[in-house]
Structures are given as structure tokens and as C-alpha cells.
Amino acid sequence: MPAIKPIHFSQLARILEIEGWIHDRTKGDHLIYIKPGFKRPVVIPKWEKVPVFIILNNLRTAGMTRDRYFELLAQT
């Protein structure tokens, strides 16, 4: 399995949207996504390169596996 690398915030947002997350609001330079059935929102900073630790935390919050992440990344 390939390593997770930093990606542009718009790619990460697109991955979440494909998975059914809805852009709820923008607060400062952060996009906040929600999905019914999940208690916590996923927060994406509007950065050129989102660091790996933020991607991993967001995947955990979203309940998404690494395999699913790479499937969706290939679609963007």
C-alpha cells in the first residue's frame, strides 16, 4: 500500500464529498463537513498541502479506511 502524502485541501474535500459528507460551513480558513450518523464534523484547513497527520485524523473521524481513501483519491 502506498504512503499517504500531503495533498491540496480541495482534493481532500472532494474525497469527503464523494463519500457523502456535506459542506456545512466555512469558519475562517477551515471547511467544516458533516454527515448524518456521525457526532463529530470533519475539519479541513484551506492549505496548499494538508499534512499527513491531519489527513489521518480526518480519515479516523470519517470512519474511512486507507484502502477506501486511495480508491477515492484515484477518482479525483
Which domains can be identified in the chain, with CATH numbers? Answer: 9-75 (3.30.920.30)
**Under a CB-based contact definition with an 8 Å cutoff, are residues 38 and 62 in contact?**
yes
Please tell me the pTM assigned to this model: 0.92
For residue range 17-73, list pLDDT tens digits in order: 999 999 999 999 999 999 999 999 999 999 999 999 999 999 999 999 999 999 999
For residue range 2-27, list pLDDT tens digits in order: 899 999 999 999 999 999 999 999 99
Ordered strands of the 42-45 beta sheet: 22-27, 30-34, 42-45
